[in-house]
Chains A and B, each alone.
Chain A
Amino acid sequence: MSALLRVLMPGVTTRSRHVTARNVLATRRMYAAITTGLVEPFFYLFSVGVGVGALVGQVELDGRTYDYTAFVAPAMLAAAAMNGAVSESTFNIFAKLRWEKLYGAMIATPLSPTDIALGELLFAQLRGTLYSAVFLVTMVGLGLVESWWAVLALPATVLVGLAFASAGLSAVTWFRTWEDSDAVILVQTVLFLFSATFYPISVYPPVLEQVVLLSPLYHGVALCRDLVLGTPGWADVGHAAFLVVLIVVFLRLAARRFTILLYEQTAGDDTPR
């Protein structure tokens, strides 16, 4: 595992755990931010269940019919994993990178830029996994989970989270100003609304269906949905593989970008790029 990681992220060491530990320490008093984040999924599920779900009634998917709420809930699980990973790896990192200048201090220790990138990634995923677990338990409580396969939906959300966190970590290195986060929000909104989250992919015209297949969130949604509804198949192996490939590509990119950015920044060149 660690050998694989060293190939993906050259220069990474086990010291990255200290970056994760630092973040845990720095955020442990932010109860309000964390606990209010935990109730968000409940509002979404409740609103769909009592509201839109009642308007829609049943949805047909691969020849079976499901309650709309049961259809949407696993998609929201995947979308929540994406949203958490993106905000943790872009908005929060941007503040540390440009305003707090936190990494300038870290780089003066034996930590390598790749250690910092990996440490941040693990922290993002730690928090994301906590949220996903609570979401999944809420779903069980509301009777929206149909099968024991749903246990595997938690690791599925980890794949979604890691894919988006490593992509976000790469993207944030190109941010010049806070306004660049608008582009991130736009991409997030598009993925959230159009990745077969709220209606089956068959609603789209065939051409658009092919486009939706390119959305990483679509693969996360399809994977979580099959697991939670208890209808896993070989397609899900494909969905998981797609996410793994994204993780590999973006981990490498994030490692490269962090190395370039942090060494240049600490060499005195602080101009945004």
Chain B
Amino acid sequence: MTAEAPLVAPRTGPPRFLRVAEYQAMAHKKMWRTSVLTMLLGPALYLLAMGLGVGSLVDDNPTSAIGGVPYLEYVAPGLMAAAAMQTAMAQSLYPVFGSVKWLKTAFGISATPVRPADIALGLQVWLGALMLVGAGAFLAMTALAGAVHSPLALLAPPAAALGGLAYSAGGAAWAVSRQSEQSFQPILRLGILPSFLLSGTFFPVSQLPAVLEAVARATPLWHAVSLVRGLTGGRIDAGTAAAHVAVLAGYTVVGLALGARAYHRRLYR
């Protein structure tokens, strides 16, 4: 190292948000066991119990309202989208809050040329990749169970990951701007759990009372489930698919913008 070494990092190499994504990936390596268990094994067990176990009961009932497909085929895409949502919330509330409150790693990052918006975007890039891998593995399991019939299903994992981003972008923005973690449990129990149970994962939302159906249709999860289900079943028209994608992308972009602003306020205060 000579005295002429530049003091300012050269503006070359990959964009800064990718450095943040790389950091997230490396930090996550230690927790791979957690990821395998919660992202792969958990959904696989649900697929087995709901698709095959409960499915055997649903398929025995000729009056059921799921469009004449075996219940396994109905519930599998729902579980794929729901698993992405669960991953998104698990990775964006407590860990993100911890990075600005308990561990303060985000402050360490902000002492480098990396900007708050890079931190917000980098985190979502990493989470998107994580959810894509989880959904891809789940698609493989679903295919092994014989519940995939269309090549369009290959688009299902990206769709599920986008649905997850609609949650993680907003979740991270919320977590960064909080002073305490008090609100997280109520959000998970009163927001995420009812979404998981009622937003079309396990049964059509048309079975809900009208008001609740309207609420369910507004959740990102319902859009994600409908999109993923349309793709794995191979029966979705381009217009409907585009509408779902637009809604999910809208949630994500708004969440990202709020997140960038929240990081800026928190780190540069």
Question: What is the interface of chain A, defined by CB distance below 8 A to chain B?
Answer: 32-33, 36-37, 39-40, 43-44, 46-47, 50-52, 54-59, 68, 179, 182, 185-186, 189-190, 193-194, 198-199, 203
User: Is residue B215 contacting chain A, with contact meaning CB distance below 8 A?
Assistant: no
Contact assessment for A189 and B45 in the assembled complex, using a CB-CB cutoff below 8 Å: yes
Q: Cα distance A68–B185 when bound, in Å? A: 30
Question: What is the interface of chain B, defined by CB distance below 8 A to chain A?
Answer: 31, 33-34, 37-38, 41-42, 45-46, 48-50, 53-54, 56-58, 61, 63-66, 71, 182, 185-186, 189-190, 193-194, 197-198, 202-203, 207-209
- Please name all residues of chain B whose beta carbon is closer than 8 Å to the beta carbon of A190 when the two chains form the complex: 45
Contact assessment for A57 and B61 in the assembled complex, using a CB-CB cutoff below 8 Å: yes
Q: A40-B189, A179-B33 are in contact. Are A199 and B54 (CB under 8 A)?
A: yes
- Please name all residues of chain A whose beta carbon is closer than 8 Å to the beta carbon of B185 when the two chains form the complex: 32-33, 36
Identify 29 residue pairs between A and B in the complex whose beta-carbon atoms are under 8 Å apart, listed by A's number.
A32-B186, A36-B185, A40-B193, A43-B198, A46-B198, A50-B208, A51-B197, A51-B207, A52-B54, A52-B203, A55-B58, A55-B65, A55-B71, A56-B54, A56-B57, A56-B61, A56-B64, A57-B61, A179-B31, A179-B33, A182-B38, A185-B37, A185-B42, A190-B45, A193-B50, A194-B49, A194-B53, A203-B53, A203-B57
Q: Cα distance A55–B48 when bound, in Å? A: 18
- Please name all residues of chain A whose beta carbon is closer than 8 Å to the beta carbon of B182 when the two chains form the complex: 32
Q: A190-B45, A203-B56 are in contact. Are A43 and B33 (CB under 8 A)?
A: no
- Please name all residues of chain A whose beta carbon is closer than 8 Å to the beta carbon of B189 when the two chains form the complex: 36-37, 39-40
Q: A44-B197, A55-B203 are in contact. Are A199 and B45 (CB under 8 A)?
A: no
Which 4 interchain pairs have the tightest Cβ spacing?
A: A51-B203, A193-B49, A47-B197, A36-B189
Contact assessment for A54 and B65 in the assembled complex, using a CB-CB cutoff below 8 Å: yes
Contact assessment for B186 and A36 in the assembled complex, using a CB-CB cutoff below 8 Å: yes
User: A44: nearest residue on chain B (CB-CB)?
Assistant: B197
How many whole Å from B102's CB to the nearest CB in chain A?
Answer: 12
Q: Cα distance A186–B41 when bound, in Å? A: 8
Q: Cα distance A265–B34 when bound, in Å? A: 27
User: A32: nearest residue on chain B (CB-CB)?
Assistant: B186
Contact assessment for B38 and A51 in the assembled complex, using a CB-CB cutoff below 8 Å: no
User: B209: nearest residue on chain A (CB-CB)?
Assistant: A50
User: B195: nearest residue on chain A (CB-CB)?
Assistant: A43
Q: Cα distance A230–B113 when bound, in Å? A: 69
- Please name all residues of chain A whose beta carbon is closer than 8 Å to the beta carbon of B33 when the two chains form the complex: 179, 182
- Given A185-B37, A190-B45, 11 further pairs, Cβ under 8 A: A32-B185, A33-B185, A50-B208, A50-B209, A51-B202, A68-B57, A179-B33, A179-B34, A182-B33, A193-B46, A194-B49
Contact assessment for B65 and A198 in the assembled complex, using a CB-CB cutoff below 8 Å: no
- Please name all residues of chain A whose beta carbon is closer than 8 Å to the beta carbon of B46 when the two chains form the complex: 193
Q: Cα distance A198–B207 when bound, in Å? A: 20
- Please name all residues of chain A whose beta carbon is closer than 8 Å to the beta carbon of B203 when the two chains form the complex: 50-52, 54-55
How many whole Å from A179's CB to the nearest CB in chain B?
Answer: 6
User: B74: nearest residue on chain A (CB-CB)?
Assistant: A55
- Please name all residues of chain B whose beta carbon is closer than 8 Å to the beta carbon of A68 when the two chains form the complex: 57
Q: Cα distance A190–B49 when bound, in Å? A: 9
How many whole Å from B77's CB to the nearest CB in chain A?
Answer: 16
Q: A32-B185, A39-B190, A43-B193 are in contact. Are A55 and B53 (CB under 8 A)?
A: no
How many whole Å from A244's CB to the nearest CB in chain B?
Answer: 28
- Please name all residues of chain A whose beta carbon is closer than 8 Å to the beta carbon of B186 when the two chains form the complex: 32, 36
Contact assessment for A185 and B208 in the assembled complex, using a CB-CB cutoff below 8 Å: no
Contact assessment for A43 and B207 in the assembled complex, using a CB-CB cutoff below 8 Å: no
User: B190: nearest residue on chain A (CB-CB)?
Assistant: A36
- Please name all residues of chain A whose beta carbon is closer than 8 Å to the beta carbon of B66 when the two chains form the complex: 55
Q: Cα distance A186–B65 when bound, in Å? A: 32
How many whole Å from A9's CB to the nearest CB in chain B?
Answer: 32
Contact assessment for A186 and B197 in the assembled complex, using a CB-CB cutoff below 8 Å: no
How many whole Å from B22's CB to the nearest CB in chain A?
Answer: 22
Partner among A50, A56, A182 whose Cβ is within 8 Å of the Cβ of B58: A56
Q: A39-B190, A55-B61 are in contact. Are A182 and B34 (CB under 8 A)?
A: yes
